[in-house]
Structure formats: C-alpha cells, structure tokens
C-alpha cells in the first residue's frame, strides 16, 4: 500500500513519520516537496534579530530517507482525484491514500509596491536579508503590516514587534525608532475572549508600539503605506505579511470551497474524496460556534497529521477509522528579553473557543527554545 504526502512542511513531516512509525514496511510513504529544505518557522523572529543562524533552523528533507520515507524533490503540477494520480515535473505518482499538506503560497502582488519595497516577514530568505538590514538601521519608523486575512500563526507579527523592541533597546537606539503594526483584524487574537486581545494591546502600549487595527492596505510607495480612506503611514523600513492563497495546484481541483481553502471533515480531515485527506494551513475548518474559519498554525497541522496517520493505519487493515481531531493546539509567543507567553487553544469548544494566554515567563521562553530542539530530534 502507498501513501503519498504532498508537502514537506509541518503537516507532511509529522504525517510521514507517524505513518512509518506505526506501519513500518507495510506502508510505502512518499513525501513530495519543491523545496530541498525544511525551515523551522517558529524561530524566524529570532533569526530576524540575529539570535539564531539560518543553518540552525534548516534541515534537508532527504534526511527523512534514513527513516525509510521516500523523499522526492519535485514541483507538484496536478492532482487527479479520480484516477488517483499526482503529476510532478518529472513523473506521475499513484497512491492508495493521499495527504495534502501544501500550506499556503504568498501573493505580494495583491498589494502594489509590496515586491519592490517590503520585506516579507514570513519568507525565510527575506528574513535573512532583513536581519542584515536591521544591523544598519539606527533611526526612523518601522512599519509591519498584514496584507489580508487569514494569515498563519496570528501571534507571530506581535512576537516580531516585541523582538524588534528588544533588539533596539539592547542597542540603546529605541528612543530613535518608532514601531507600528497595522492589521486588518479588529484586535490581536480576535477569536479569543476580549481580555486576551486586551492584554496583548497592553503589552504593545507598555513597549510603546503603535497598533492600527481594521486597516485595509491599498498600496505601498517607497516610504509610505497607503491605507483605506486615504490614510498614510510613513515608514523608513517596511515588513509585511503577503496575502495567503492555497497553492495553484490545489485551486485547480474541486477540493476548495468559496474561501479558496480545502473543505474537510472537521474531525477526520477527510475531503469529499474517500482516502484523500487535507491538513494544515491549506484547510478550511469552520469553528462550530463563531462560524468563522479556524486559525492556522503548525501545532494544529501537527495534531491533524497524527490523527490522519492513525486512521489510515486502521483503514489499511480493513478497520473503521476511530481517531478524531479535537481542535486543540498551543502557541508560545516570545515577548522579548528572555520571556514568552504560553497560550493554549481549543477552537471546537462550546459555547465559544477556549484560548488562554499566560503572563510572560522565563519558563515559557525556555519551552519555546526546547521545542526547536525537540522538533528536529523527533522528526529528523
């Protein structure tokens, strides 16, 4: 039996390992990704301020071969769900089970001027360039903006601002730097109870970071961010999160709903095609209470991958799949100066999603550092 996993990011890596660990040679597992490397995104904020190096947060995907996972470095061009065939730039691949974990792709062109004037804070190569630029930045306004919703890891932009605050304070330059964050959301952490968003606002305030909410970015000029209603935000350095879309190869299938993301069963992650699953950022998961879509983060992709792998194991043995995804995850937001806030999320909880956000602590900070080590040791 063969399981084909599309995407070697968080969801794909966990699914491949989980399948191999439980099924051994009874399941051939093939992982396909266009990138030769995996980048550990939770450490991008620390990479930005030079607290870690690119080589420390990068692993070659083909290391997974030692775990008997076949790794193909390919561009996926077409998914034929009727014939069970995936076409890459080199060959056609058949499957018995298919797991799609292709994440999102960035579309900076939806904001004119983005590609010319903005560092994409979610792109590994741009973060490396940004870390060099910051070394020579001594005064002026830095603006971080979110192009559109949804975007993955909603706390990440705030984390990056807190680390910029730390970076410039440590250099004695903070009084010469204005930090501004611009978001289309009405609040940080919008699905959480209001007190969670309020506590992030307070931290921004305490650190003298300006927050502009409910802002629609129209375009970028060299030193200006243009918002709706002709509002102009001046800037000497622009960081942004480009609009997220599902990859074209997904949008060319009938898997997507009108949001552009893949419709899945909330509990099993199965698509409308039996034996075809989608996990991670590419999925459209409705929150039972708010009707809104669930947030996107690696911890959710991770938990979904484990559920799917366990159910494929049962199915391949002729048994009923019994494992269910529970909508739980966690996040640790680095708040600077060796502290972090630990957050738990349970987005299927009724009568409303449950989100906790602990106060900044050293323990949470060390837990975040330890997770990076765990991640590479556990899965590579």
Output the smallest distance, CB 207 to ligand FAD, in A.
19
Q: Return the number of the residue (10 or 111) whose C-beta is nearest ligand FAD.
A: 10
Output the smallest distance, CB 231 to ligand FAD, in A.
26
> What crossing angle do the helices spanning 298-316 and 10-23 adopt, rounded to 10°?
30
Q: Return the number of the residue (12 or 184) whose C-beta is nearest ligand FAD.
A: 12
CA distance 89 to 71: 15
Q: Quote the DSSP letter at residue 350.
A: S
| Residue 54 binds ligand FAD (CB under 6 A) | no
367-to-57, 158, 162, 263 alpha-carbon distances in Å: 16, 19, 18, 33
Output the smallest distance, CB 176 to ligand FAD, in A.
26
Task: Pick one of 3, 4, 29, 42: the residue that binds ligand FAD (CB under 6 A).
Answer: 42
Name the residue with the smallest CB distance to ligand FAD.
9
Look-up: residue for tokens 């974990």?
101
Q: Which stretch binds ligand FAD (CB under 6 A): 41-49, 112-120, 340-348, 351-359?
A: 41-49
Q: Return the number of the residue (23 or 333) whose C-beta is nearest ligand FAD.
A: 333
By CB atoms closer than 10 A (0-12, 13-18, 19+), residue 17 is buried
The secondary structure of the chain in percent helix, strand, coil, rounded to multiples of 5, reads: 35, 30, 35
Q: Return the number of the residue (190 or 223) whose C-beta is nearest ligand FAD.
A: 190
The number of C-alpha atoms within 13 Å of 353 and in the hemisphere containing its C-beta is 29
CA distance 191 to 32: 33
Instruction: Characterize the bridge pairing of strands 283-284 and 354-357.
Output: unpaired
| Residue 303 binds ligand FAD (CB under 6 A) | no
66: which residues sit within 8 A by CB, 6+ positions away? none
| Residue 304 binds ligand FAD (CB under 6 A) | no
Query: Given phi > 0 = left and psi -120 to 50 = alpha, else beta, which region is 365?
Result: alpha
- Check if the beta carbon of residue 186 is closer than 8 Å to that of residue 151: no
Residues 214-253, one symbol each (x = binds ligand FAD by CB under 6 A, - = not), give: ---------------------------------x-x----
CA distance 65 to 369: 26
Output the smallest distance, CB 331 to ligand FAD, in A.
5
- Check if the beta carbon of residue 113 is closer than 8 Å to that of residue 143: no
| Residue 12 binds ligand FAD (CB under 6 A) | yes
Q: Return the number of the residue (34 or 226) whose C-beta is nearest ligand FAD.
A: 34
Contacts of ligand FAD in 110-139 (CB under 6 A): 122
Q: Return the number of the residue (185 or 281) whose C-beta is nearest ligand FAD.
A: 281
Residues 168-207, one symbol each (x = binds ligand FAD by CB under 6 A, - = not), give: ----------------------------------------
Contacts of ligand FAD in 315-354 (CB under 6 A): 331
130: which residues sit within 8 A by CB, 6+ positions away? 48, 119, 121, 239
Per CB under 6 A, residues contacting ligand FAD are 7-12, 33-35, 41-42, 44, 75-76, 101-103, 122, 152-153, 156, 247, 249, 280-282, 296-299, 301, 331
């Amino acid at each position: 039996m063969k399981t084909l996993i599309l995407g070697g990011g968080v969801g794909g890596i966990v699914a491949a390992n989980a399948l191999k660990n439980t099924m051994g040679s009874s399941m051939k597992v093939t992982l396909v990704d266009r990138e030769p490397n995996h980048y550990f995104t939770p450490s991008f904020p620390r990479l930005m301020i030079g607290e870690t190096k690119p080589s420390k947060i990068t692993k070659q995907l083909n290391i997974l071969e030692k775990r008997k996972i076949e790794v193909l470095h390919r561009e996926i061009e077409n998914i034929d769900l009727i014939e069970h065939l995936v076409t890459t730039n080199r060959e056609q691949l058949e499957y018995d089970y298919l797991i799609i974990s292709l994440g999102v792709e960035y579309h900076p062109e939806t904001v004119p001027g983005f590609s010319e004037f903005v560092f994409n804070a979610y792109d590994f190569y741009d973060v490396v360039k940004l870390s060099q630029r910051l070394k020579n930045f001594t005064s002026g306004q830095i603006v971080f903006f979110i192009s559109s919703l949804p975007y993955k890891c909603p706390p990440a932009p705030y984390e990056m601002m807190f680390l910029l605050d730390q970076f410039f304070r440590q250099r004695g330059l903070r009084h010469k730097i204005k930090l501004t964050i611009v978001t289309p959301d009405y609040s940080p952490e919008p699905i959480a109870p209001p007190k969670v968003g309020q506590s992030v606002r307070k931290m921004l305030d305490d650190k003298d970071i300006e927050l502009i909410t409910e802002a629609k970015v129209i375009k970028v000029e060299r030193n200006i961010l243009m918002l709706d209603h002709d509002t102009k935000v001046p800037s000497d350095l622009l960081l942004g999160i480009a609009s997220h879309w599902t990859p074209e190869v997904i949008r060319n299938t009938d898997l997507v709903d009108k949001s552009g993301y893949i419709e899945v069963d909330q509990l099993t992650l199965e698509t409308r095609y039996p034996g075809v699953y989608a996990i991670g950022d590419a999925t459209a998961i409705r929150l039972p209470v708010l009707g809104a879509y669930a947030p996107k983060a690696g911890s959710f992709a991770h938990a979904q991958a484990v559920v799917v792998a366990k159910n494929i194991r049962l199915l391949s043995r002729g048994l009923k799949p019994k494992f269910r995804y529970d909508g739980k995850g966690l996040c640790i937001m680095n708040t600077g100066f060796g502290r972090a806030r630990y957050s738990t999320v349970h987005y299927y909880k009724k009568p409303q999603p449950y989100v906790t956000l602990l106060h900044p602590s050293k323990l949470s900070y060390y837990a975040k550092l330890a997770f990076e080590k765990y991640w590479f040791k556990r899965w590579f």
